[in-house]
Every structure is written in C-alpha cells, then in structure tokens.
Amino acid sequence: MYTKMHHALVDGVSSMRLLQSVLSTDPDRRGMPPPWAVKPASDRAEHPRDDADQHLTEVPVSAFGSALGLAADAAGIPGALARTVTRGVRNETSALSFYAPRTILNTKITGSRRVAAQDWPIERLRGVGRATGSTINDVVLAMVSGAMRAYLTDLDALPDTGLVAMVPVGLNARQAQHASVDGGNAVGAVMVQLGTDLSDPAARLRAIHRSMKDGKEALGTMTPLQILAMSAIGLAPAVLPPLLRMSGFTRPPFNLIISNVPGPRVPHYYNGAELVGMYPLSIPIHGMALNITCTSYAGRMGFGLTGCRRTVPRLQLLLTHLDNELTALERAAAL
C-alpha cells in the first residue's frame, strides 16, 4: 500500500502518529474503520457555546504569551546567528554548512523517479553502536557514507572532499516544549560531514559521530525560533539557485538529505492484517537528486531511497553497498 501526504500537513513524526492512530497492536481486532474515515464528534460538540466562550478567553492570553516569547527569541537572533554563521563560513561547525563538493547528485533533475527499499535488524546497528560508543543514527549515517563512497567510486564520480548531508534532528525537551507552546516545529537540522573521503569504515563512523555531536551541541544553545532562522539561512544556498536559474554557478551547501524517523516498536495490524514493513519515500529536488529516509519498525530499520532516474543511475546498487557497509562496520567493531 502506498500513501502520499503533503509535507505542509505532516512531518515524519506526525505521519507516524497518524499511522499508529489507524492501526492496532491487537491482531484479533476487527471492524476497524478505513484510515480516511472521520472520527465521531467528541462530547464537547454537545456544548459548542461553552467551548467557544472558553476558547475566546484562552486565545488572547495564549497569543500574548507567545508574542512575548517570540519577541524575546527575536532579540537573541542576531548574536546567536552571527556566531553560528561565522563558524559555518570557517567550516568550524556542523550546525551550518556553506561548502560541499559538487557531485552528480547536485544537478538539475527531471520528473522521472526510481525508488529502492530494504530493511536490516536494528540489533545489528545497535551492536555496532555499543561497541564504538555511537548512536544508532550515527551507524545509519555511516552505512550511507560507505555506500555513497562505493557507489560514486563505481561511477568514477567520488569527490576528493567528503560529502555533506543535511540530517533533521529532534529538539531537546526544553526546546520541544517551547515549540509546542509557540506553535512551531520541534525539529532542527545538522549538516553532517560524512567522511566519504576516508577509506576506513571506523574512521568514517568516528568523523560522523563528532560531526553530529558538534551540530547537536550548537542547536542545544538556541531557541526554536533561532533554529528556524538559522535553517532558513542554511537552506537558502540550496533552494534559491534553482529558483533563480543559477544552478551550477554556486556550490551546494550539502549533497543529500538523510532522515531517520522513529516508528512503532511492536507489530501493528489493520483488521487482522499485519503491517510487515515500512519504507519511507521522500522528495528529490533540483540540486538534490537523492533523498534517503529511514524508519524503524518492529525491530528493523527500513531504508527508503528516492532518486531522479536520469541523474542517479542504478539506484538499486546502493542497497547492496548499504549491506556491505554494515558488514564492514561490524567487522571494524570486532563483532
């Protein structure tokens, strides 16, 4: 089954919550409504006037509090951004990137698509993480790093400097609460140095771990509004050139997007039919011909690769390279 939702409506985490709301952990449950069915009205619908009166009194207070918070955040934007942008220009932080090598991925794309998907036991990734002091997400990025190195080498298109990936990350508890109150997004982005110029899998994993740690620490000092402003600056070099017909004249700030969205940990069912796997497919754009998104589900990590068919040839080979890289990481970790 293929489902498609506009990113303006839901992000990855919201889509997982939506999926879980229409499924069940009970394999014997029957009579479940279709996912698109409208839920019954709540009891509050019987007293719309009471709800409306309460809402009218709550909105001004909430809006006033949010406005004060946004004003305080805005006052801190110039200093926070200036420090981060300066470090980004000097290539000293993973919170912002202005320099990434030109690759076959960073060109104009067509409307044709190719997708590839596969999953691996999360316990294998967790084992590498435990042995090396890395997170599961670090291991996911290391798998992609090694796979991209092998893939681009096969095409004689591996740049001398390492690829840079934009990696969405969840905000910490304080920031997420702030974002929820102000109606903002509880997500930021880290520009991760993938180390594809390094031949040793263990060295690539260490470089990725350092880059992720640095980026998260930089984001940890900011408010959601400051992160939003920084993200706009970081995305501008990737988004504006295609719109201004300047693609090819500027260097990309990053080479691809790699997302990891946590999903349900236990099997889910719909009217007794088991959901056996989930493979997310995301959005290539001009200048970013490949998108890799991962989703964990029931003890497995599913990789979904979406690429421009004409720009990214033989996309299926990346799955073989991902499998080989996980084996190489296990070997490097002496597992």
Does 178 qualify as catalytic in the annotation?
no
Which residue range is the domain that position 66 belongs to?
Answer: 48-332
Assigned domain for 163 exists: yes
pLDDT band at residue 222 under the 50/70/90 scheme: confident
53 occurs within a structural domain? yes
Q: Which two tokens stand for residue 155?
A: 């095409």
Instruction: Return phi, psi of residue 168, to 5°.
Output: -65, 140
Q: How confident is the model at residue 268 (pLDDT cuts 50, 70, 90)?
A: very high
Q: What is the predicted pLDDT for the residue at 101?
A: 93
Is residue 78 domain-resident? Answer: yes
DSSP strands (E only) in 196-261: 256-261
Question: Which single residue is written with the structure tokens 């951004």?
Answer: 81
pTM for this one? Answer: 0.81
Note the pLDDT of residue 178: 47
The predicted pLDDT at position 217 comes to 85
How many domains are there within the chain? 1
- Inside any domain, residue 217: yes
Q: Which residues contact 41 (CB under 8 A, 6 or more apart)?
A: none
Per-residue pLDDT reduced to its tens digit, 148-191: 999 999 999 999 999 999 998 876 555 444 444 444 455 678 88
Question: 63-67, 208-212, 285-289: lowest mean pLDDT where?
Answer: 63-67
Residue 7 lies in a domain: no
Sheet holding 113-121, edge to edge: 113-121, 300-308, 290-297, 256-261, 164-170, 187-193
Q: Are 163 and 196 in contact (CB under 8 A)?
A: yes
The answer to whether the CB of 235 falls within 8 A of the CB of 288 is no
Comparing CA positions, the residue from 220, 231, 158, 228 lying closest to residue 195 is 158
Distance, in Å, from the CA atom of 24 to the CA atom of 42, rounded to the nearest integer, reads 21
**Does some domain include residue 34?**
no
What is the chain's alpha carbon radius of gyration, rounded to the nearest angstrom? Answer: 22
Residues of the chain with pLDDT > 70, as a percent, come to 70
Residue bearing the bigger pLDDT, 301 or 172: 301
Q: Does 12 map to a domain?
A: no
Number of CB atoms found within 10 A of residue 213's CB: 15
Give 67's contacts (C-beta < 8 A, 6+ positions apart): none
Task: Give residue 161's pLDDT.
Answer: 95
Question: Which of 225, 113, 122, 213 lies closest to 169, judged by CA?
Answer: 213
In contact, 143 and 329? CB cutoff 8 Å:
yes
Note the pLDDT tens digit of each residue in 134-148.
Answer: 999 999 999 999 999
Whether 36 is covered by a domain: the verdict is no
Average pLDDT over residues 302-325: 97
d(CA 86, CA 76): 16
Q: Are the C-beta atoms of 289 and 105 separated by less than 8 Å? A: yes
Return the CATH number at 235. 3.30.559.30
List the catalytic residue out of 6, 7, 55, 268: 7
Burial of 334 from C-beta contacts in 10 A (0-12 / 13-18 / 19+): exposed
pLDDT of residue 278: 93
CA distance 175 to 181: 10
